[in-house]
Amino acid sequence: MKRKLSPKKERFLRFVKGFIKQYDRPPTFFEIMNGLGFSSLGTVNWYVRELERDGYLIRGGFNAKRALYVSEDKDEENYRLPLLGLISAGKPLESIEDREYIEVPLSYVHPDNFVLRVKGDSMVEDNIQDGDFIIVRKRATAYPGQTVVAFINGEATLKRYYPSKDGVELHPRNPAYSIIKVAPEDDFRIIGVVLFVFRKYK
């Protein structure tokens, strides 16, 4: 059971939730510091650690400043989103023959949201493991550093998105995998951005 929050922690959590809802991405520590008027990043880190301990925030990966997620509330009523397929680096998106629906918190229900299941370990440093589920918001654009679902020449991938003057780079979060460099002549499009990661336990 989650601990009852102090007013200051409630304010911090409201800011993170509001930022994610407005921008479809988690805030950086610097954005939190400026948004809440803190004098140092150390204060932000303290609140994040406290809210992680209290069960309200999840930090995806070691020192991942953008991979900050709001924990699913076990007391919140769950709703469903369609599971559209399995995402695996370097392969076409594997569709699900029989349409399935996955229970998600009400706060993630949106007409443009859908669920994919992850295959592979290319994003483990963002705490996205093989077999996890991701909630994706349909979007054709993304901010630098966001985790995206994209197609490159007909093949699907899940990576961090970094535009550059020479094109686009897609970064894995596992040193065993190489950065994908997208050339201007490649058929590249963003399908959506990742909002939330969760896993089911048997």
Task: Provide the annotated active-site residues.
Answer: 122, 159
Cα 179 from Cα 21, distance rounded (Å): 29
Task: Enumerate residues 6+ apart whose C-beta is below 8 A from 187.
Answer: 151, 152, 153, 154
Cα 128 from Cα 113, distance rounded (Å): 18
Q: Which two tokens stand for residue 94?
A: 């594997």
First to last CA, the chain: 20
At 7, is the secondary structure helix, strand, or coil?
A: helix
> What sections of 24-123 are H helices per DSSP?
29-36, 41-53
- Say how far residue 133 (Cα) sits from the centre of its chain: 10
At 32, give phi and psi (nearest 5°). -65, -45
Q: Which two tokens stand for residue 106?
A: 């009400």
Residue 86, exposed/middle/buried by CB under 10 A (0-12, 13-18, 19+)? Answer: middle
